[in-house]
Amino acid sequence: MRITPMDIQQQEFRVRFRGFDAREVDSFLELVAEELKEALHENSALKDEVKRLRENQANFEEKEKTFQTAFVSAQRVVDEMKSNAERQAKLIVTQAELEAKKMVESAHIQAAQVQEEINQLKRQKAQMEYRVKAFIESLSKWLATEKEVAEEKDAGTNEAHQAMSAI
């Protein structure tokens, strides 16, 4: 059973011969009742404070869980972003390598085409040189033949002049 300040104030004792001074007992009981009242009041205030602190603690724990969840989510997002960035970088590098390969292949093809054109021009030059030499030889032969014919004509004309002069 709990004793309240009211119980202490209303407590009465039997009076006996050679007993305690009733006023002193009443005064002491009044003092004890007041102290108990204050202690109960303080106890109630402390219980309220404990309740409030427990509620605050529960709120803080809930906020901590929320922050932890948010942190884990943020970490996941950062990891995904990092992973995506790495994949994108690899894709860009792969595309750049493919583009570079295409450019090198194109340059090789162009170089081969240029080399083929150079070879064709060399063949054409050789053919032209051959034709020019053949034309010059042919012209030389024709000129030599023409010279011989002209010399024969001149010789025949000289003979005819000599024969005419002799006549």
The residue segments making up the domain with residue 60 are 5-166
Measured CA to CA, the distance from residue 146 to residue 151 in angstroms comes to 8
What average pLDDT score do residues 58-74 get?
97
Q: How confident is the model at residue 167 (pLDDT cuts 50, 70, 90)?
A: low
Number of domains in the chain: 1
pLDDT digits (tens, 9 = 90+) for 96-124: 999 999 999 999 999 999 999 999 999 99
**pLDDT tens profile 13-54:** 777 777 777 788 888 888 888 889 999 999 999 999 999 999
The two tokens of residue 46 are 């402390």
Contact 32, 8 (CB under 8 A): yes
Cα dist. 48→9, 36, 61, 103 in Å? Answer: 26, 18, 20, 80
